[in-house]
A and B are shown apart, each in its own frame.
Chain A
Amino acid sequence: MNRWVMWSGWLALLIALPAQALEVDREVWPRLTLGGRVIGTLDLANGVSDGAIDNGVTIADSGLLLRLDKRLYQHGIGGAVLGYEDFDGAVRLTQANAFYWDRDIEVHVGAQRLRNELIEFPVLRDDDVLGLAHVGNAAADDEYGQFYGRLVAVDWYVDGRNQALDLWLGNREQDAGHVSAGQAVAGFNSVGLGYHYQQSNDLIYVERWRSAGIALDAQRVQTAAGIEEWMAALIAAADVNLNIDPAASWSLVMQAIYNDGITHDGVISTLSERARARSQSWVTALRYTARPNLLTRWQAALTVGYKEFPDHSDASQWTVIPTYVRLLGQGVAAVAQLKYSGYGAGLYQGGEDVAVQIGISYSLDARFNDTIGERNSILNLQYGQQL
């Protein structure tokens, strides 16, 4: 045993030494991108669900992202992302991934956003549509586990521009504190593939399609009987401009999820239990953005969502969320939102959640030493800028 430990130590040293000897060129500064947001809201709420908002002041969804990257010797860009986010008082390291990209491919390895959604809705916080707009985690009940995991994600841009085939493999969080004993799965528990179209951010007001996609997201879960099974969900989404008017833009956001689940008669009291149940949901939002003189001043949106669990009697949910954001300056906004969710008798005894939120948000997107540009820039997509 001692000999094995000794040889293991030497082997580890031999591996570690060359890694330490690799140069980190101090003369080549990376590009540094600081992104993030602090959103503070005063919440007046009354609800029955486990996701209901409480009365008080919340900073949930506030977070900071740091991206460091640089041009590589011959081709492409390499770097890393670190990110922290607040989940109702618990700050978690959400992103810690290294990446490579060029015109044709993006590869991210590490902690990152799960690919269990295709689109972002115009609500104040991600968890405003939690359960409706995301494929749930069948092995975790906390909010972090619904959005983040450790993945190898590859996006192959088949046209070198906007259209990608996506493949990911990795691990969703398995929260031992919330998952029933015996439900954890060893090894990879998540895999998926999809196709998405993503318009350049610089063109979202002048092109018809902002984004669209379809994806198959699978989780390997252990049933109560101790059998491991794959559970699959199908996601389809589109974000389309109803008019082409960069000064007064109307757009429609839609996403639908069909989750085949693995249990058809279990309880659906927690997030993970609902994730295991067969369900279908859709969310759509109508968004108006006012940009007089092409400077965004305010945005109003009405988001509506519906979800049902067909194997359970009257287990359904309606959600309506009107949202208003007024920019007071670049990145600084006054925000207001009303969130209503009503449940069928099979969920929360047919109760309802109501919340009014008013607050301020500050968003940051600052770049230093930008020697690179972005993959989805106009120059890159339309003028063939060399990366």
Chain B
Amino acid sequence: MTTKMDNGTDVDVRHDAGQAMVGHSSDERQLVSRRAFLRAAALVAGGSVAAPALSAVTEHAGHGGGNYQSMMFMPGHNMAGQITEPPGAPADDEVDYQVFDLDVRIVQHEIVPGIRVPMFAFNGQVPGPEFHVYEGDWVKVIFTNNTEEMHTIHWHGLTVPYTMDGVPMLTQDPVHPGQVFVYRFQAKPSGTRWYHCHWGTPLHAAHGMHGAFIVHRRDDPLKKHFPYQRDYTLMLEAWDIDFAREEIEGLLRGMKELNTLMQQGRMDPMTHGLFRSYQDYLTAVQDGRYIPPYLQGRSSGVPLRFNFFGINGKAHPAGRHLGIRRGEWIRVRLINAGDVSHHMHLHGHDFWWVAQDGNDLLQPQRLNTIHVHPGGTYDIMIYGDNPGYWAFHNHATLMARNNGVYPGGAHAVLEYEDFTPSYRPTVSVDQ
């Protein structure tokens, strides 16, 4: 599938790798187009205007921002219904923003048939929608928190103003339940970037709130050597589904109590583990006014045991195939959104590793196994010269399992679309 960019330019990239790789359930990934986002944003805005609570708009970007500071220590602060527009980026009338609407909600995400897991999910899908913009584009993301928990969005690898970086209590307050937070920034530098929640990261980001953010160049130099027509994005994941369930349950319990206090105007920042300074924190612990959560049992808590691994929200055999034709170059963008390294090995081919963390390598390397570490992005080019069906999987084979049963996990198939197979793949789930 070739999709034009919404601004009418003719970049022939396969925007929605997720549609090819997974997506045969209601939570499948959707192409993020400006038009679609605008429609959604309009609906949200329509509802928002009607809601009196949304009349409160905090500091607008580009309007000085002199009063922009943490609300978390204000007595009785309640951010539900607020629209927060932090300073640090041009105002709407100063540049031409591409506007996107993004929310977070709790879904029951199906990893493989029979395994449904509660997850915080951008726009109700895991991974979140995939952004495709050009380097230099101005991006405005209207983020609505439709959960009872706090969230932020960190734009991983993008050089945004610090007020847009999405690190709670370092660059912004967390986005409260029912709050709208507007991120504005210029899409740069080019390459394979991504975004994720930065609040409660082990649960929020690694277990659902992650998505690809692809910044294209109009003159992609890689195309001179690797003239690809299609590109795929593979977000590599690791889940402990029991941790996800119990952690969300615990968060919901705690947040219902916190939100009750907040609605009553009685939220004490210390109750939420917030202190104005390290010294304040130290004093509160030393004089017994505050018992840190990590101190209560002198334990490290329940250890995570990652029991499912996936690509684009799905574990083998629920994933889809990567299509290729003889004589074709395809680009595969690997993003590790989880907390363990994936060692992706392609059968029957070498490939060219061309970029890391979004930046083109000075010298591409020829490999057939690439080590994809947490937080990193790795781009490879594959040339179609060996027709067949070829496994592309995590060669740390303990992670090529579903709940301890091989084969499963992060396992894709490179499929030639222009040959007549003598042996057709079937589905094997218990070896």
* Chain A residues near B (Cβ < 8 Å): 202-203, 205-206, 244-247, 293-295, 329-330, 370-371, 373, 377-379, 382-386
Contacts and interface: CB of A to CB of B under 8 A. Distances in A.
A293 B242 contact: no
Contacts of B291: 293, 295
B340 interface: no
A327 to B, nearest CB: 10
Contacts of A293: 268, 270-271, 290-291
A205 B108 contact: no
Given A247-B266, A293-B290, A293-B291, A373 B253 contact: no
Interface stretch (B176-184, B255-263, B378-386): B255-263
Contacts of A379: 118, 245, 248-249, 252
A295 B289 CA distance: 11
Contact of A247 (B106, B245, B271): B271
Contacts, number: 67
Nearest to B246: A370
B296 interface: yes
A202 B246 contact: no
B302 to A, nearest CB: 8
B254 interface: yes
9 contacts: A245-B264, A247-B266, A247-B271, A294-B257, A294-B258, A295-B291, A373-B246, A385-B116, A386-B116
B294 to A, nearest CB: 13
Nearest to B267: A247
Given A246-B257, A246-B261, 9 more contacts: A203-B253, A205-B257, A244-B260, A244-B264, A245-B266, A247-B261, A247-B266, A295-B291, A385-B108
A205 B257 CA distance: 7
Contacts of A245: 260-261, 264, 266
B256 A203 contact: yes
B398 to A, nearest CB: 16
- At the interface, is chain B mostly helix, strand, loop or mixed? helix
Given A247-B271, A377-B249, A383 B118 contact: yes
A205 B259 CA distance: 12
Contact of B249 (A202, A246, A329): A202
Given A244-B260, A247-B271, A385-B118, A202 B253 contact: yes
Contacts of A384: 108
B270 A373 contact: no
A378 B266 contact: no
A295 B297 CA distance: 13
B417 to A, nearest CB: 36
Contact of A330 (B254, B261, B296): B296
A386 B296 CA distance: 32
Interface in B115-130: 116, 118
Contacts of B260: 205-206, 244-246
B326 to A, nearest CB: 44
Given A373-B245, A383-B118, A378 B271 contact: no
A371 B266 contact: no
Contacts of A378: 249, 252-253, 256
Contacts of B257: 205-206, 246-247, 294
A379 B149 CA distance: 13
Closest 8 CB pairs of A and B: A246-B257, A202-B253, A378-B252, A293-B271, A206-B260, A206-B256, A386-B116, A377-B249
A386 B115 CA distance: 9
Interface in B276-302: 290-291, 296-297
Interface string B108-142: 10000000101000000000000000000000000
Contacts of A370: 242, 246
Most chain A beta-carbon neighbours within 10 Å: one of B106, B249, B270: B249
Nearest to B271: A293
Given A373-B245, A373-B249, A379-B252, A386 B108 contact: yes
Chain A facing B: main interface SS: loop
Interface in B294-352: 296-297
Contacts of B253: 202-203, 378
B57 to A, nearest CB: 29
Given A294-B271, A295-B291, A330-B297, A385 B256 contact: no
Contacts of A377: 249
Given A244-B260, A247-B261, A378-B252, A329 B108 contact: no
Nearest to A380: B249
Contact of B106 (A206, A371, A383): A383
Most buried by B among A203, A244, A245, A379: A379
Contacts of B266: 245, 247
A363 to B, nearest CB: 13
**Candidate in A246, A371, A377 with the most chain B CB atoms within 10 angstroms:** A246
A365 B270 CA distance: 27
A329 B261 CA distance: 24
B32 to A, nearest CB: 25
Nearest to B404: A27
B119 to A, nearest CB: 11
B49 to A, nearest CB: 28
A202 B290 CA distance: 22
Contacts of B245: 373, 379, 385
Contacts of B261: 245-247
Contacts of A383: 106, 108, 118
Interface string B218-259: 000000000000000000000000100110110011101110
A289 to B, nearest CB: 12
Contacts of B256: 202-203, 206, 378
Contacts of B297: 329-330
Nearest to B256: A206
Contacts of A295: 291, 296
Contacts of B258: 294
Contacts of A329: 296-297
Contacts of A330: 296-297
A294 B118 contact: no
A384 B116 CA distance: 11
Contacts of B270: 293
A371 B254 CA distance: 21
Interface in B2-42: none
Interface string B350-370: 000000000000000000000
Contact of B254 (A244, A247, A294, A373): A294
A385 B244 CA distance: 12
Nearest to B268: A293
Contacts of B268: 247, 293
Contact of A202 (B108, B118, B252): B252
A247 B252 CA distance: 16
A379 B118 CA distance: 8
A206 B258 CA distance: 10
A295 B268 CA distance: 13
